[in-house]
Amino acid sequence: MASSDRRNQRALRSNYEIGSSFWAVRRAQWRAMGLSDEDMEKPKIAVINTSSELAICFNHLDHVAAVVKQAIRDAGGLPFEVRTAAPSDFIHSAGNAGKYILPSRDLITNDIEVQVEGAQLDGMVCLASCDKTAPGQLMAAARLDIPTIFAICGYQGSGHIGEEHVDIEEVFLGAGHHAMGAITLERLKEMSEKAITSSGVCSGMGTANSMHTVCEALGMTLPGHAPVRASGGGMLDNAAEAGKRIVDMVWEDLRPRQILTEAAFENAVRSVFAVSGSINTIKHLQAVATEADTDIDVYGMYERLMDSSPVLVAVRPNGESSIEEFDDGGGARAVLKNLGALTRTEAMTVAGKTLGETLNGWEPPTDTVKTAEAPLSDKPAIVLVRGNLAPDTGIIKLGLRYDRKLKVTGPAVCFSNPIDAIEGLKAGKVKAGDVLVLRGLGVRGGPGMGMASRVVFAIEGAGLGEDVAVVTDGQLSGLVNKGLVVGEVTPEAHGGGPLGLVRDGDLITIDVLARRVDVDMDDAEMEARRAALPEVGHSGQRGWLSIYEGEVEPLSRGAVLIPPRD
């Protein structure tokens, strides 16, 4: 298509009327940067880069950005690299008890809005990497609704100690074991030195690789792009392809809200079940749906689809398959293909074709990903539960492990932060048969939703993994696949949620098959305890967490920072 024809097809929003004051000052700035008047008539594309030297998840992204920018130029576009916050759970959870982690997702979203919407750029290529960058970028794409494509920036290599495989999951689990004296510091140090062998996100099916799979299932990447090795040439080839495609997407005016339909979200939810993905995908997908200004209830979608969504692949920590085997077996594309009739093939994709059209005639190269007719399991990998302890929802990650206890009743042992819980374990305050209650970690109570994972791994390290259940309003790493844990309980304890009313010794029952979590307490007693609670005040946080605390919506809306529509 000729340049003039393209201009007639779509007017670029980044071009001001010639002679206007905005045109003049923009031209002055960009001419000083070496851009020509011809450049300024091209589609102006933001390359959203979360590069950072703080974490291995991001330290390779400048090279990826360079490839994307060159591909945009070659396709007739004008790239502008835009930097945002670059949060890594394993780095940024060191400060303020890990409270910065979830709020950083929304910081990314708002950062993108300021830089892209303020400059009225025409499209975006988002470099998706660690846990919070992909959802934050998806939320921005849904909010701004300008042509957007995702370039998946890859997973890290893992290592060995002798013949024994070791990756970041073992280090994370090992830290919990060391806290309980189950392994030595020397062993933990050796694991940490061998676990990571290249740049990229955690190598298991944690939140990052789950969200990369979600990006493709939503139709926001080109087919076959997730997952991908960060150390391989395939990632750069994919990035170049994405850079080339975004220019045509601008001319076609193919925007996220045309892609992020109910069918797309259903494909994303099915794919999470199929890979036994992270429970964090639920709140992230709900946040994307909310930012897209839809009425899609992602939590309800998970509940509706869970009993008809098979598990097709078991990547570590869910099973013995490696992320490399999943990648070589077709990755997300193979999942969508092998779900068969469960896939909503009418969903549109950034390729400018329906999902069905992109899958037509393609077959997975290996049998790593099983079919819906012969799955690894026909039981849901993730179960949403309700009850008087979780009137809205609680989430249990089961993976393939239905051999664990599926119904337990035990006395509550309550803690208000992970450190106290681990000290309580060390002191013998938690015994086999107890239900450990960890609360005050919700989006408002944190503020920012603290991480409960270290407590789960400490329980495992204490040898109580099969005998002590956990109920928490905190979030869990996507790498957590141990014990019977009800996570992200809502309403949260903060502000009078039922979890905040539980006292030591109250009997709690978790029944997976009945989809319930309850405390043995009648309504009258619950209301009496609620009435006796002290008035909730401000946490005393300053800066970004103070803003977050005052504005964050509940998990049912994805913990976004935008108020409900009238």
| Peptide linkage before 87 cis (omega within 30 of 0) | no
Set 477, 539, 546, 556: catalytic member: 477
Sign of the Cα torsion 130, 289, 562, 47 reads positive
226/242 Cα distance (integer angstroms): 13
- 424: helix, strand or coil: helix
Residue 477 is among the residues annotated as catalytic for this protein: yes
Strand partners, 127: 151
Dump the DSSP string for 332-375.
HHHHHHHTGGGS-TT-B-TTSSBHHHHHTT---SSSSS--SSS-
| Of 144, 125, 128, 67, residue with least CA distance to 249 | 125
- Phi/psi at 19 (nearest 5 deg)? 100, -15
Kindly provide the residue ranges of all beta strands, DSSP E only, lying in 406-484, ordered along the sequence. Answer: 407-415, 435-438, 469-472
Strand partners, 151: 127
Q: To which H or E segment does residue 542 belong?
A: none
Q: Where do runs of H (alpha helix) occur along 145-279? A: 168-179, 185-194, 207-217, 233-252, 256-259, 262-275
Residue indicated by tokens 């020509």: 36
3-state secondary structure 395-415: EEECCCCCCCCCEEEEEEEEE
Q: Is 48 left (phi over 0), alpha (psi -120 to 50) or beta?
A: beta
Q: Are 64 and 151 in contact (CB under 8 A)?
A: yes
Q: What single-letter DSSP state applies at residue 6?
A: H
CA distances for 561 relative to 105, 139, 263, 293, angstroms:
11, 11, 25, 13
Residue positions annotated with a catalytic role: 477
